[in-house]
Amino acid sequence: MLMSAERGDVIREEDVAEIRALVPGLREHRVAGAGHMIPWDNEEGFYRAFGDFLGTALD
């Protein structure tokens, strides 16, 4: 799984496309409203994305 930030400039759309070409089954979750520090910028979105990765909801 790849978690990236909607407002961040660390992992760009073209980076995701390149990674997806190398890892076709890649699951990517872009956290809305988050910048470089995803948990600080959108804590709820971070836990939702991480829970998706783990296969269980995190509260």
Nearest to 7, CA basis, from 45, 48, 57, 59 = 45
**pLDDT confidence tier of residue 2, bands split at 50, 70 and 90:** very high
Residues 6-59 have pLDDT tens digits of 998 889 999 999 999 999 999 999 999 999 899 999 999 999 999 988 989 887
Per domain, the residue ranges of the chain are 2-54
pTM of the complete model: 0.79
Confidence (pLDDT) at 34? 95
